[in-house]
Amino acid sequence: MSSTPEVYLDSASSARLHPAARETLLAALDRGYADPRRLHGPGRDARLLLDNARAVVAEALGAHPDEVGFTSSGTEAVHRGLLGLTAATGRDGIVHSAVEHSAVLHAAQWRESPAHASVAVDADGVVDLAALAAAAADPRVGAVALQAANQEVGTRQPVDAVELPAGVPLLVDAAAALGHVPLPRRWDALTASAHKWGGPAGVGVLAVRRGTRWTTPFPGDDGLDQPGFPDVPGALAAAAALQAVLGEREQVAARQHAQVERIRAAAAALPDVEVVGHPTERLPHLVTFSALYVAGDEIVAALAARGFGVASGSACTASTLEPSHVLAAMGALTHGNVRVSLARDTTDSQVDALCAALGAVVGEIRARAGL
């Protein structure tokens, strides 16, 4: 049996390389090899490609090109962005929702401030805005982090409704949302990761608005780009993929929303299965559900054997051996959890086959356990 599932339904972890990115990457490898900081011809050519990539991403974010930098990953973008905000303000406290990506949690832990605050969410994963604003009022707080949408359950946060004290900047993690839904307008710093929208892995985005106090928190030049040699072909391919997915976003999102509704209904119809996340304010391509009396990795393995590649949002990972902090914060079942995230080209027939397989798999696993 092939180790590669026939139907890939884990695009929230990483999307397949978009055809536009592949074509651009191959062309850019021949042109973007030189150091864009050099004044010779190949260097100027590489600089032009990098500037073009920056301009495309900036337009997608509603930002200016000089507000956008490229990093080696979305995680590095979060770390540089969030810690750079606190370094610039001189206040090391970080306030964040309880369901933020682990990159935010790790940045807060690394800073070790008594002013850190994790703000509760409701059963759908939506943050308490009043509590967020109250926590941000602590004079020791230097930044607030709130994701545009959650990578495990798909819930979108009401970012544009956030009200913070003057001088407290807001970092928005848009990694799960960019390319799938319109982004919030309210942000001082924003981060994203190209492999989530069909760009190459190893390219992150850090944007900081003009007028926002930010300084590099790590050794290196005081700029938004990561220190060291820039990945010009990667940045250009990421920009090409982003431009392409934004051009087709409405059409793809409409199809995916209808497909996810069918998966949600199929999962909810099974005995002792709960669909997790906000029912309407959510990403169009992602659905998560929890099944009692069944381990999430059992469902994932059984579906893989039938040709479907899905993820378990609650599975204890080999690196941490800890259940999902997102599901725990929502009060949801942290075991028996499965996340399905559709690709841009997932078909209706593939979704129908998954729905049929899902009921069979859960039933078989429970029957083997004598349930």
Residue 58: which residues within 8 A CB-CB, separation 6 or more? 64, 65, 67, 68, 207
Q: Is residue 355 among the annotated active site residues?
A: no
Does residue 94 contact residue 86 with C-beta atoms inside 8 Å?
A: yes
Does residue 185 contact residue 172 with C-beta atoms inside 8 Å?
A: no
Q: Tell me how far apart the alpha carbons of residues 358 and 289 are, in angstroms, rounded to a whole number.
A: 11
Residue 71: which residues within 8 A CB-CB, separation 6 or more? 77, 80, 203, 204, 205, 206, 225, 226
Q: Tell me how far apart the alpha carbons of residues 288 and 311 are, in angstroms, rounded to a whole number.
A: 9
- Integer CA distances (angstroms), 19 to 16, 22, 329, 350, in order: 9, 5, 38, 21
- Integer CA distances (angstroms), 296 to 9, 12, 103, in order: 15, 17, 23
Q: Tell me how far apart the alpha carbons of residues 127 and 130 are, in angstroms, rounded to a whole number.
A: 9
- Chain centroid to Cα 224, Å, comes to 20
Other Cβ atoms closer than 10 A to 221:
10
State phi, psi for 203 to the nearest 5 degrees.
-130, 115
Does residue 25 contact residue 200 with C-beta atoms inside 8 Å?
A: yes
Set 316, 328, 353, 355: catalytic member: 316
Residues marked active site are found at 316
